[in-house]
Amino acid sequence: MKLPFILFAMIALAFATPAYAATYCVDFASGSDTSTGIPATNCHSANNHAWQHAPGMTGCTGLCNSTTLNPADRILFKGGITWTSGAFPWTIKAVSGTSGNAIYYGTDVLWFTGGSFTRPIFDFSFVGYGTSAINFNSQSYITLDDIEVKNYAYLGAHFNDCMLNGGGSAYTNQTVSNSFFHDWHSTDAQDGAHNGAVCQDNSTGGSLVIHNMMNNTAQTSGYGACVSGADEIAFNSCTGMSQGNLDCILVHDNIFANMKGSCCGTHENVYEQVGTHPVTFYNNVYHDYPAEGLFLGAPNSNSFVYNNICWNPGSNTCVEIDTNFSPGTSIAKFYNNTWVPGGSGYALRIVQRGSGAYPTVTMENNHVISDGTPAHEALICDASWDSTDCAAVTTLTLTTNTTMTNAAAMAQGYVAGNLFAPTLSSNGTVSTGTNLTGSCSGALTQLCSDTSAGGIRTPVLRPASGAWDTGAYEYQAPTSSGSSYSGSLTTSGKVTIQ
């Protein structure tokens, strides 16, 4: 007998969607773990039956502890409520979501205490747990969204001792979004590269850190990275740390600013490459940091760096490639960056560590502001200029780059106040570059538009024919609004610039 079409459709729908997708409410101030956690209608109405803890939190008992989560479940924290240090460490239940049905740990902006919505707060009170305060337990398709996380202490150089850790074995598709991480330090003056705010070092694909603010300016030392190991980090503001990000694969539209030295003088880069995977770094702003900006050089890996703006590095270098790692077949390509290394500094330095020449470097359409002479030195320190400190490059291509002294740049209006953008059509970067339209694919797909300057401006489409501008910008008449670059976090969680 043939099944009626409507019955067949209902059966198909049942298999396509989670059978038990549910919403659970969590209120540390007035919830009870003996409740069901399931609201009669929604969390911001009466009879929400809220738990005090989320499943897996320290202190979770009763139905909170015994409830089994499923793909597409939502665990919502009440806005304006603080979860104190005794509720942590928190290791989430060993249940993964699925594609299109992630398990969501976040908020309902209609559910809050006080006059208006503010984020739920996870306050660790600088208790040294000896492990990460939040552990995603190597589960896949998990999202943490819209939370304020603060006051974390990690115990020495423990690997992956972080505010939030993805887990100790392989996982995919973990997302951290719209949240505010701030104030962390080490209890015994040790600083590890894999410590800090968000660590996703064991991700094997799809993990994303997006629209977050990470700020450690109140602490005396930067202590660790904002993000370690994520597959993609985008539209984040990252300030006051000792390292921006470690070994992330795709890094774009972020601001890394006002970094400070670590307690121990190590891991003080905006970006540090460790793995052999390709690196794509574009549309970022990074400035005022103690050491190198980008630290590249892993063996047999390709790096694509474009549309970035760098100034005031402590090492007078915006990018450093280290040959100590036996580069093999590595390729590094740099297009349409604006680099202000300070004084007579280098935009790019190839470090001599006794491992021979770096295979291939291409620098095209970049704008460098430096008093280094000749222009080759301002652009790159390699063995052809300084064979004592800098290494050779086997195949070096330098095409249509613009160099100018600090005084000449200032005279033309290239200053930090406008993020070194051209102000007049007669400026030295305007229409002086090579048209690279044919290169705008794959890792370079976004190259056919100019920079977003860390997500604070709308990129301008570069011309399909005719000369491009050099540097990160394609000239347009300035607006009256101007630009600045101090970050804040809106109620919706997006990083905005004021």
Q: Are 110 and 44 in contact (CB under 8 A)?
A: yes
pLDDT of 360 above 70? yes
100: left (phi over 0), alpha (psi -120 to 50) or beta: left
How would residue 221 be classed by pLDDT, with cut points 50, 70 and 90? low
DSSP one-letter string for 443-494: GGGGGGB---TTTTSPPPBPPSSSPBPSSS----PPPSS-----EEE-TT--
Q: List beta partners, residue 75.
A: 24, 105
Mean of the pLDDT values across residues 473-484? 67
Radius of gyration for the alpha carbons in the chain, expressed in angstroms and rounded: 25
What's the pLDDT score for residue 216?
87
44 burial via Cβ count (<10 Å: 0-12, 13-18, 19+): middle
Give percent of the chain above pLDDT 70: 86
Please report which confidence band the pLDDT of residue 322 belongs to, taking 50, 70 and 90 as the band edges: confident
pLDDT at 437 over 90: yes
Task: Look at residue 265 in the predicted model and tell me its pLDDT.
Answer: 59
CA distance 392 to 352: 8
- Give tens-digit pLDDT for 38-56: 999 999 998 999 999 999 9
What are the tens digits of pLDDT across the range 137-180? 999 999 999 999 999 987 765 556 789 999 989 999 999 999 99
Q: What's the predicted TM-score (pTM) here?
A: 0.90
If one counts every other C-beta atom within 10 angstroms of the C-beta of residue 239, the result is: 22
Question: In what order do the strands lie in the sheet containing 285-289?
Answer: 82-83, 121-123, 148-154, 180-186, 213-215, 237-239, 255-257, 285-289, 309-313, 338-340, 367-369, 402-404
Rounded to whole angstroms, the Cα distance separating 339 from 366 reads 8
Residue-level pLDDT at 368: 96
Output helix, strand, coil percentages for the chain, rounded to the nearest 5.
Answer: 10, 35, 60
Look at residue 156 in the predicted model and tell me its pLDDT: 60
Regarding predicted confidence, which is higher, 13 or 457? Answer: 457
Higher model confidence: residue 477 or residue 348? 348
The pLDDT of residue 160 is: 63
8 A C-beta contact, residue 121 and residue 161: no
- pLDDT category at 484 given cuts 50, 70, 90 is very low
| Interval 465-487 mean pLDDT | 74
> What is the pLDDT, as a whole number, of residue 263?
58
Of 185, 257, 181, 188, residue with least CA distance to 219: 185
Task: Tell me the pLDDT tens digit for each residue of 8-28.
Answer: 344 443 444 444 489 999 999
Selected residue with higher pLDDT from 330 and 43:
43
Alpha helices by DSSP H, listed for 19-176, are 62-66
- What does the block give as tokens for 455? 């997500």
In terms of Cα–Cα distance, which of 222, 158, 172, 178 is closest to 200? 172
Mean pLDDT of the chain: 86
Contact 435, 466 (CB under 8 A): yes
Closest CA to 365 of 419, 421, 434: 434
Q: Residue 4 pLDDT more than 60? A: no
Are 200 and 225 spatial neighbours (Cβ–Cβ below 8 Å)?
Answer: no
Residues 76-101 have a mean pLDDT of 97
Q: Which amino acid is located at 402 in the chain?
A: T
Distance CA 363, CA 459 (A): 21
Structure tokens at 428: 């030295």
Between 451 and 191, residue with greater pLDDT: 451
Please tell me the predicted confidence (pLDDT) of residue 18.
46
Strand partners, 309: 285, 338
